[in-house]
């Protein structure tokens, strides 16, 4: 029997927009049209991205002219502080992913193509909790990024020699 490492769903009581508005109000900040547009753009699909990728992606939309680079960086930091995004350091750059509404999960990171593969493991969580109990440590979460080479890059790397290689 094969283990299931897929992510489940998490029910949330408010939308990312509502949650971010509450966060900003609690800090005496206002929600601007640019911030609203950024949140909608970031949360319309689940993927991993860095600030430069987000800015490049925005430039291909009508939002590109309306949202400045400093606004993107500032809003990304606020989204992390609000618990809506998670920041990870990969290869010297900050990569973001959705945190709000997503279950605890871990990543496989291909060091050749930078692909991130998400997985969830009950066994890993049980081990984490057992180690915490043994050390009288209250576990609140964890992050695990396993580095290696994905199957696609591994296949490319170990392909057979071709007569075309001599050309």
Binding-site residues for Zn(2+) sit at 110, 113, 150, 153
Cα three-residue angle 101-150-83, rounded to 5 degrees = 20
The separation between the first and the last C-alpha atoms of the chain, rounded to the nearest angstrom, is: 47
Return the H-helix or E-strand segment holding 59: helix 51-59
Numbered residues of the known binding site: 106, 110, 113, 142, 150, 153
Please report, in range form, the residues annotated as the binding site for Fe cation: 106, 142
Distance of CA 46 to the CA centre of its chain: 8
CA distances from 158 to 112, 152, 153 (A): 13, 10, 9
Instruction: State the residue for tokens 């060091």.
Output: 111
Tokens coding 164: 């075309």
Q: How many CB atoms within 10 Å of residue 53?
A: 14
């Amino acid at each position: 029997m094969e283990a299931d490492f897929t992510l489940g769903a998490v029910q949330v009581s408010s939308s990312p927009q509502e949650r971010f508005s509450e966060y900003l109000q609690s800090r005496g900040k206002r929600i601007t049209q640019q911030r609203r547009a950024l949140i909608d753009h970031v949360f319309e699909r689940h993927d991993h991205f860095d600030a430069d990728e987000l800015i490049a992606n925005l430039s291909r939309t009508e939002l590109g002219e309306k949202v400045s680079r400093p606004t993107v960086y500032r809003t990304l930091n606020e989204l992390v502080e609000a618990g809506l995004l998670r920041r990870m350091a990969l290869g010297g750059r900050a990569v973001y992913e959705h945190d709000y509404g997503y279950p605890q999960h871990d990543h496989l990171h291909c060091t050749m193509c930078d692909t991130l593969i998400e997985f969830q493991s009950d066994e890993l969580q049980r081990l984490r909790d057992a180690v915490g109990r043994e050390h009288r440590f209250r576990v609140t979460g964890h992050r695990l990024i396993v580095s290696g080479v994905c199957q696609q890059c591994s296949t490319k790397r170990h392909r057979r020699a071709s007569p075309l290689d001599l050309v």
